[in-house]
Amino acid sequence: MRFLFVDRLIAVDPGRTIETLKNVSATEDVFDDHFPGYPIFPGALVIETFEQASQLLIGISHDFARVGTLRGVHRAAFRHFVRPGDQLRVRCERAGASELRSRADDATWTVSATAEVDGRRVASATLDLDVIEAVDEHKAHAERLREAVRVLRATPVDASGRGGFA
């Protein structure tokens, strides 16, 4: 992942679900072109946010010994614009997770992803991912995911001026 579109891990149930936050900042480069005078966070980057959250879920579920690679996106729907200043709350749930027992080692995952802003659904999609061993070139990717999880789970610093943590 060259650009990380996950700013915070909210909750993780390994093998089942993950919830993340993406703070959409007006200073992101994408808004220079998309669209001048009426900035909109591109739908392709919402899908990328879904994919990154899904990869984090797969990595966590396999203690980073396996990683996910995107095979396909289905039923993508975009209902409302995502604009600078919005906080995108993403939830990814492995399809059939309620029936799963110890099948976290399956070779493929189907993930249902939704994104909300202020409690209003703005996008959804279904992602198919292959789950592969983190060897060779995928080993470095697994280590980047592990480090991302460490950073994303950290308690944010309190910016109120009182000091301490939020």
Instruction: For residue 83, tell me if it sits in a domain.
Output: yes
Instruction: For residue 157, tell me if it sits in a domain.
Output: no
Q: Please give the tally of structural domains in the chain.
A: 1
State pLDDT tens for residues 98-123.
665 555 548 999 999 999 999 999 99
Tell me the whole-structure pTM to 2 decimals: 0.89
User: Band of the pLDDT at 80, cuts 50, 70, 90?
Assistant: very high
- Domain with 75 in it: what CATH number? 3.10.129.10
State pLDDT tens for residues 15-72.
999 999 999 999 999 999 988 899 999 999 999 999 999 999 999 999 999 999 999 9
Q: Tell me which residues are annotated as active site.
A: 34
Instruction: For residue 97, tell me if it sits in a domain.
Output: yes
Instruction: For residue 3, tell me if it sits in a domain.
Output: no
Q: Which domain holds residue 102?
A: 8-152
3-state secondary structure the chain: CCCCCCCEEEEEECCCEEEEEEECCCCCHHHHCCCCCCCCCCHHHHHHHHHHHHHHHHHHHCCCCEEEEEEEEEEEEECCCCCCCCEEEEEEEECCHHHCCCCCCCCEEEEEEEEEECCEEEEEEEEEEEEEECCCHHHHHHHHHHHHHHHHCCCCECCCCCCCEC
Instruction: For residue 23, tell me if it sits in a domain.
Output: yes
Instruction: For residue 48, tell me if it sits in a domain.
Output: yes
